[in-house]
Amino acid sequence: MPALTRGLASNPPTVPVGKAKLRLFDDKLIGFLMEVRASGKVTYYCRYNDARGRQREVRIGRHGDVTIDQARKRAQEIKASAALGGDPAAERDRSRAIPTFGEFVEGRYLPYVKDKLRSYRDQESFFRLRLKAAWGSRYLDQIRPGDVAELQERLSREGLAGATINRYTAFIKRVFNVALHWEIYDGRNPATRAQMRREQGREQFLTDAELVALFKALAVEPSRTAACAIALLAATGARRGEILGARWERVDIDRRILTVPAASSKSGRTRYIPLSDAAIRILRGLPPGDSPWVFPGNDPAKPISDLKKVWVRVKERAGIDAGFVLHQLRHTYASRLVGQGRSLYEVGQLLGHASTAMTARYSHLAPARLVEAANLALPADC
Q: What is the structure's pLDDT at 178?
A: 94
Task: Supply the DSSP string of 154-211, one letter for each residue.
Answer: HHHHTT--HHHHHHHHHHHHHHHHHHHHTTSS-S--TTTTPPPPPP--------HHHH
Distance CA 72, CA 355 (A): 67
CB atoms within 10 A of CB 59: 12
pLDDT 10s digits, 183-233: 888 889 999 999 888 766 556 788 889 999 999 999 999 999 999 999 999
239 DSSP assignment: -
Q: Which residues contact 343 (CB under 8 A, 6 or more apart)?
A: 369
pLDDT 10s digits, 130-162: 999 999 999 998 999 999 999 999 998 888 888
Q: Is residue 381 scored above 80 in pLDDT? A: no
Q: To the nearest 10°, the Cα dihedral for 244, 216, 289, 235?
A: 40
Please report, as a single letter, which amino acid is at residue 289.
Answer: G
Rg (CA), the chain: 32
Q: Which residues contact 378 (CB under 8 A, 6 or more apart)?
A: none
Distance CA 328, CA 347 (A): 15
Q: Name the residue with higher pLDDT: 262 or 257.
A: 257
Return the percentage of the chain with pLDDT > 90, whole number: 42
Q: Is residue 96 scored above 50 in pLDDT? A: yes
What's the whole-number mean pLDDT along residues 232-252?
A: 91
Class of domain 208-373: mainly alpha
CB atoms within 10 A of CB 120: 13
pLDDT 10s digits, 368-377: 554 555 555 5
Q: What is the structure's pLDDT at 363?
A: 58
- The ranges assigned to domains in the chain are 6-95, 101-181, 208-373
47 DSSP assignment: E
* Residue 273 burial class via C-beta count within 10 angstroms: exposed 0-12, middle 13-18, buried 19 and up: buried
Distance CA 86, CA 65 (A): 26
pLDDT 10s digits, 324-377: 889 889 888 888 887 777 777 777 777 777 665 556 566 555 555 545 555 555
Region 6-95: CATH code: 3.30.160.390
Distance CA 270, CA 287 (A): 28
Confidence of residue 382 (pLDDT cuts 50, 70, 90): very low
